[in-house]
């Protein structure tokens, strides 16, 4: 694969699939994956970083492809006992997954930054690409609902996305500093592309863009900035995005909504074949549009899509 | 079962069996089990209390009777991932057991005392008797070996008791305050008996006796104080006691060693049939001696022995 360094911006499950595809087709020293930490939270004394874990598990080949999140071959023995003990059981922590949270939390308590502990645990799982949090400072996504502000995991897991959403905020973002690995990737003279993975724009990518300096640095780049749309057939593949779009931006705009949302941050957009009808209007806005199959069921899909994304920006 | 309140002093596995027997034969409001916390330690950011857990699991009927420690139907998925992540794997934490450590640690971090969190978790498992730590302050048993002082779990689990032991200390004991539940039990006007469970005198009972005020309060009682010897056939049933006795007090003194160790703290001693030959000498020291089968394989053994202990001091 020719060309320079690639910076991918990723949220959780959907983004992690493309991140894993990029990791499969690029040499490790040519890939930095900056991950949303707005979904992170403290639970049972553990620091849980769902999106970092999704990316790490996907890159390590440990992700559960059937359930769609968490670790393969997972068991739930701790949760069973936790319920007997009267513990908070609204958030499922698998037994294998717990090792990650325990190791991370012990590292953070011992003085490691989130960047350091993430790098150490990713390396232990044999991951060569740089997986970096967007920030080592706490940024916490909150969702404004009819019932007031809810912490993201309370909305997403606790309330199963039932409350109608009116807005978001990323607490701590204004004071957060870009993580060293993200700042370093943005400053590389050989940075050849930014790939916005097919993650939720509002909940997974916006927190990344809310970290001071990230948006300006992206806009100042003269390399291609390409997103894979998270929509297929005008709808989100899974997760709360489909419901959210109806609540935040009703009217069924499809990929125009994605293009509007990212604006001049994007030079290129990859959309699914089922949304081929969106292509002409998107091109009319000055975007370079690639139409292909964007659903990633298997690792072959992830790698093919990663290659097509890189090909779309001239990195064959 | 006639009579007043019973205060049992217990360490881990062996002690927990008799504690469970006492809980089975006494109404819950008539039993306080004060548990050694000298073996407690911090691991992966969790506060692990092995002896409290052994007692709680035994009383809840959740103890693994085959392995002899921990929770029944345990799995080790977290440990498997922890190893892959390069984590500290010298201490085995089972998946089900983790719920206890997570709940306890979150409670302690949230401001609960060890007494409060222990009472809450024991109640959640349906335990009626009062299970109380010896102290809410940290007391940490250390073992003097040829290689210097080792934290107890490093010696016991990490080094598998291999180093030759020259002595013990209970760090923090001098400043520790008796836990409220232990102090309350010792102050009861209806306190009818103290039962020293068949735990390691040096490692499980001595830490309890090292908490300021405990030894003096026990000596000041005018009720029977009965121990079940942890020796069978002159040897410890399991654990490091057999090896320890050879190192600390060579000469094969059998139950005389136990009697010497506790001295006037005991009025009664229960010994195993195989040590019948010890009985006369023990009686000559003024101890009331009961000879019976003290090995507890099944719950029926635990209850029979508990009844015999209570009968030996007139609580039929």
pLDDT in tens, A27-56: 999 999 999 999 999 999 999 999 999 999
* Cross-chain residue pair B75–A74, CB shorter than 8 Å: no
**This prediction's pTM:** 0.93
Look at residue A42 in the predicted model and tell me its pLDDT.
94
| Other beta carbons less than 10 A from residue B284's beta carbon | 9
User: What is the spatial distance between Cα A41 and Cα B34, in angstroms, rounded to a whole number?
Assistant: 36
Tell me how close the Cα of B60 comes to any Cα of chain A, in angstroms. Answer: 11
pLDDT beyond 70 at B226: yes
Tell me how close the Cα of B296 comes to any Cα of chain A, in angstroms. Answer: 26
Least confident residue range of B51-60, B144-153, B240-249 = B240-249
Q: What is the DSSP letter of B298?
A: S
* Cross-chain residue pair B45–A85, CB shorter than 8 Å: no
Interface A:B, Cβ pairs < 8 A: 106
Residue pointed to by tokens 């002093």:
B9
Q: What percent of chain B has pLDDT over 70?
A: 98
User: Is A122 near chain B, with CB under 8 Å?
Assistant: no
User: Is A75 near chain B, with CB under 8 Å?
Assistant: yes
Mutate to test the interface with A, among B42, B60, B78 (most CBs of A within 10 A): B78
Q: String of b and e for B267-278 (b: at least 16 CB within 10 Å)?
A: bbbbbbebbeeb
Q: How far is the CA of B161 from the CAs of B51, B90, B238, in angstroms?
A: 17, 13, 12
Look at residue B60 in the predicted model and tell me its pLDDT.
97
What would the pLDDT profile of A152-196 be if each residue is shown by its tens digit?
988 988 888 889 988 999 999 999 999 999 999 999 999 999 999
> Which phi-psi region, left, alpha or beta, contains residue A117 (left: φ > 0; alpha: ψ -120 to 50)?
alpha
Number of structural domains chain A divides into: 1
* Cross-chain residue pair A82–B71, CB shorter than 8 Å: no
- State mean pLDDT over A88-93: 94
User: Is A175 near chain B, with CB under 8 Å?
Assistant: no
**DSSP codes, chain A:** --SSEEEEEE-SHHHHHHHHHHHHHS-GGGEEEEE--TT-EEETTEEE-HHHHHHHHHHTT-B-TTTSSSBTT---HHHHHHHHTT---SS---HHHHHHHHHHHHHHHTT--HHHHHHHHHHHTT--SEEEESBSS--EEEEEETTEEEEHHIIIIISTT-SPEEEEEEETGGGPPBPHHHHHHHT-TTEEEEEE-SS-IIIIIHHHHHSTTHHHHHHH--S-EEEE-SEETTEESSTTHHHHHHHHS-S--THHHHHHHHGGG-SEEEEEGGGGGGHHHHHHTT-EEEEE-----SHHHHHHHHHHHHHHTT--
Sign of CA dihedral B296, B21, B286, B236: positive
Contacts of residue B96 in chain A, CB cutoff 8 Å?
A: 77-78, 80-81
* Cross-chain residue pair A87–B105, CB shorter than 8 Å: no
User: What is the spatial distance between Cα A229 and Cα A258, in angstroms, rounded to a whole number?
Assistant: 7
* Cross-chain residue pair B81–A87, CB shorter than 8 Å: no
Nearest to A99 among B85, B97, B109 (CB): B85
Look at residue B235 in the predicted model and tell me its pLDDT.
82
User: Is A166 near chain B, with CB under 8 Å?
Assistant: no
Contact A54, A13 (CB under 8 A): yes
Contact B204, B177 (CB under 8 A): no
Q: Who wins on pLDDT, B115 or A242?
A: B115
* Cross-chain residue pair A85–B125, CB shorter than 8 Å: yes
Tell me how close the Cα of B92 comes to any Cα of chain A, in angstroms. Answer: 12
Nearest to B96 among A46, A77, A105 (CB): A77
Nearest to A96 among B78, B96, B121 (CB): B78
User: What is the spatial distance between Cα A176 and Cα A189, in angstroms, rounded to a whole number?
Assistant: 24
Q: What percent of chain B has pLDDT over 90?
A: 83
User: What is the spatial distance between Cα B206 and Cα A46, in angstroms, rounded to a whole number?
Assistant: 34
Q: Residue B40 maps to which CATH number?
A: 3.40.50.10680
- Provide CB contacts within 8 A for A202, sequence distance 6+: A168, A241, A244, A248, A261
A242 φ/ψ angles, rounded to the nearest 5 degrees: -60, -50
Which chain A residue is nearest to residue B119, measuring alpha carbons? A85
- Interface predicted TM-score (ipTM): 0.92
User: Is A13 near chain B, with CB under 8 Å?
Assistant: no
Tell me how close the Cα of B48 comes to any Cα of chain A, in angstroms. Answer: 14
User: What is the spatial distance between Cα B102 and Cα B108, in angstroms, rounded to a whole number?
Assistant: 10
User: Is A124 near chain B, with CB under 8 Å?
Assistant: yes
User: Is B87 near chain A, with CB under 8 Å?
Assistant: yes
- Provide CB contacts within 8 A for B200, sequence distance 6+: B11, B14, B230, B236, B239, B240, B241, B244
Name the pLDDT band for A67 (thresholds 50, 70, 90): confident
pLDDT beyond 90 at B247: no
Nearest to A82 by CA among A40, A53, A47, A43: A43
Least confident residue range of A96-100, B138-142, B198-202 = B198-202
Tell me how close the Cα of B56 comes to any Cα of chain A, in angstroms. Answer: 12
Contacts of residue A44 in chain B, CB cutoff 8 Å?
A: 102-103, 105-106
User: Is B72 near chain A, with CB under 8 Å?
Assistant: no
User: What is the spatial distance between Cα B165 and Cα A265, in angstroms, rounded to a whole number?
Assistant: 68
* Cross-chain residue pair B85–A105, CB shorter than 8 Å: no
Name the pLDDT band for A65 (thresholds 50, 70, 90): confident
Domain region containing B245: 5-312
CA B307 to chain centre: 19
């Amino acid at each position: 694969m020719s060309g320079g360094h690639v910076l991918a911006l990723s949220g959780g499950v959907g983004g992690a699939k493309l991140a894993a595809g990029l990791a499969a087709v690029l040499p490790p020293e040519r890939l930095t994956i900056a991950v949303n930490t707005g979904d992170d939270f403290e639970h049972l004394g553990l620091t849980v970083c769902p999106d970092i874990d999704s990316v790490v598990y996907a890159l390590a080949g440990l992700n559960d492809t059937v359930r769609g999140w968490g670790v393969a071959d997972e068991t739930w023995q701790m949760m069973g006992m936790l319920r007997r003990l009267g513990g908070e059981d609204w958030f499922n922590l698998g037994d294998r997954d717990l090792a990650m949270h325990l190791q991370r939390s012990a590292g953070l308590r011992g003085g490691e930054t989130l960047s350091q502990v993430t790098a150490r645990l990713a390396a232990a799982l044999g991951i060569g690409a740089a997986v970096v949090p967007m920030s080592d400072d706490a940024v916490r996504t909150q969702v404004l609902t009819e019932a007031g502000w809810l912490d993201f995991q309370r909305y997403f897991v606790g309330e199963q996305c039932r409350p109608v959403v009116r807005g978001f905020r990323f607490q701590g973002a204004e004071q957060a500093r870009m993580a060293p690995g993200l700042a370093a990737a943005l400053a590389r003279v050989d940075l050849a592309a930014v790939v916005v993975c097919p993650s939720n724009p509002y909940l997974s990518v916006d927190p990344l863009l809310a970290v001071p300096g990230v948006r300006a640095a992206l806009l100042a780049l003269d390399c291609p900035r390409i997103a894979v749309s998270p929509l297929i057939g005008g709808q989100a593949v899974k997760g709360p995005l489909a419901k959210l779009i109806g609540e935040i931006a009703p009217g069924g705009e499809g990929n125009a909504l994605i293009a509007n949302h990212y604006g001049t941050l994007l030079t290129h957009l990859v959309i699914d074949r089922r949304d081929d009808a969106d292509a002409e209007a998107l091109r009319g806005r000055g975007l370079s549009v690639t139409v292909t199959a964007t659903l990633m069921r298997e690792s072959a899909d992830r790698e093919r899509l990663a290659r097509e994304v890189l090909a779309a920006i001239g990195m064959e």
